[in-house]
Amino acid sequence: MGFTKLDSGIIDSSIWSEPLAIRVVWVTFLAKANYHGIVKASRSGMIRSSNVSEKDFDRALKVLESPDSDSRSPEFDGRRIEKIEGGWLVLNYKKYREYSYSESPVAIRQRRHREKKRDTELHVTNGRDISASASNSSLSSLRNKKDKTPGIILILDEEPKRWEGITEELKELWAKSYPGCDVKFVLQEMIAYWDAQPKSKRKINWKRTIVNRLKWVQDHGGTSRQPAQGAAPGTWLKMMKEKEAREEKI
């Protein structure tokens, strides 16, 4: 839910001499505007929010979008709103938002910090077209970059097939956490299993996959219940093969 700072001078403005419906629509625009003065709404949605008739709303829209020589603000020739993609822009919104009046020094610092942060979300083209898509794209790129930080990977497309990124510290942690598992055996077994899978089924978060596998082996008696010779397929691999065979029959 947004917050709108309503300038007390509105009752002295030229808009306050307009009919009641126009004033209601104007205050509704102010109430629905976000931090940058953007009102994301359709015509029908604004009519419902303003609780006025279609005729009164269209008349108010014409007044608010037209120049006003009697306006207290010379900017934009006195126009109050402008149609943009997805809604409207309250043209002088930022100007009135920045009025500090009796703000304390702490409040001023906090406000400036918020403005600096939120301004990164604002992209202006030709001084009018405002969109948050640029900042959203940047944030998404940063997240994707962070998510793709090199970690544990499974190399299957070249010999020798192997794990990379598994440190000795991780192996020690897994060995202590799952004492019933031979970590080296489980990792080798997983290489055999995932090498037999289509590339489309191969995992991305290998660390989580390894931990899940170790937990499963631990909960099912540990590696001591599996064949002693590493060349033979393990219980997990055998189980997955049997499951695939059953699915093919179905």
pTM of the model: 0.40
Query: Rounded mean pLDDT of 29-49?
Result: 92
Residues 109 and 198 in one domain: no
Final residue in a domain of this structure, among 135, 164, 199: 135
pLDDT score recorded for residue 83: 93
Does the pLDDT of residue 53 top 90, yes or no? yes
Residues 20 and 115 in one domain: yes
5-27 per-residue burial string, b: 16 or more CB within 10 A, e: under 16: eebeeeeebebeebeebbbbbbe
Higher per-residue confidence, 4 vs 102: 4
What is the average pLDDT score of the chain? Answer: 78
Residues 160 and 201 in one domain: yes
Residues 94 and 181 in one domain: no
With respect to residue 141, please indicate whether it lies within any of the assigned structural domains. Answer: no
Per-residue DSSP letter, 161: P
Say if residue 160 is preceded by a cis peptide, omega within 30 of 0.
yes
- Quick one: tokens of 164? 């990379």
Residues 117 and 90 in one domain: yes
Number of domains the chain is built from: 2
pLDDT tens per residue, range 150-182: 588 888 888 898 999 999 999 999 999 999 999
Backbone angles phi, psi at 196, to 5 degrees: -85, -5
Higher per-residue confidence, 69 vs 84: 84
Residue 125: which pLDDT band, with cuts at 50, 70 and 90? very low
Neighbouring-strand partners of residue 154: 163
With respect to residue 142, please indicate whether it lies within any of the assigned structural domains. Answer: no
Distance CA(38)–CA(35), nearest Å, equals: 7
With respect to residue 65, please indicate whether it lies within any of the assigned structural domains. Answer: yes
Neighbouring-strand partners of residue 124: 130
How far from the centroid of its chain's Cα atoms is residue 56's Cα?
A: 38
Residues 12 and 99 in one domain: yes
Final residue in a domain of this structure, among 108, 135, 162: 135
Does the pLDDT of residue 3 top 60, yes or no? yes
Does the pLDDT of residue 146 top 70, yes or no? no
Domain of residue 82, residue span: 8-135
- Quick one: tokens of 3? 């917050």
pLDDT tens per residue, range 71-123: 777 778 889 999 999 999 998 887 777 664 545 556 666 777 777 776 655 54
Angle among Cα 95, 101, 105 to the nearest 5 degrees reads 105
pLDDT tens per residue, range 179-205: 999 999 999 999 998 888 887 777 678
With respect to residue 16, please indicate whether it lies within any of the assigned structural domains. Answer: yes
Residues 12 and 118 in one domain: yes
Residues 113 and 26 in one domain: yes
Residues 128 and 171 in one domain: no
Neighbouring-strand partners of residue 58: none
- Strand 162-164 relative to strand 153-155: parallel, antiparallel, unpaired? antiparallel
- Quick one: tokens of 177? 């956490």
Residues 126 and 163 in one domain: no
Does the pLDDT of residue 43 top 90, yes or no? yes
Instruction: Count other C-beta atoms under 10 Å from residue 189's C-beta.
Output: 21
Query: Rounded mean pLDDT of 219-242?
Result: 62
Alpha helices in the chain (DSSP H): 20-32, 43-50, 54-65, 93-97, 105-119, 133-147, 168-177, 183-195, 206-219, 235-249
With respect to residue 50, please indicate whether it lies within any of the assigned structural domains. Answer: yes
Residue 233: which pLDDT band, with cuts at 50, 70 and 90? very low
Residues 119 and 202 in one domain: no
Q: How far is CA 13 from CA 8, 37, 70, 71, 132, in A?
A: 10, 19, 9, 7, 31
pLDDT score recorded for residue 157: 84
pLDDT score recorded for residue 57: 95
Residues 66 and 162 in one domain: no
With respect to residue 143, please indicate whether it lies within any of the assigned structural domains. Answer: no
With respect to residue 146, please indicate whether it lies within any of the assigned structural domains. Answer: no
Final residue in a domain of this structure, among 78, 107, 135: 135
With respect to residue 28, please indicate whether it lies within any of the assigned structural domains. Answer: yes
Residue 50: which pLDDT band, with cuts at 50, 70 and 90? very high
How far from the centroid of its chain's Cα atoms is residue 34's Cα?
A: 18
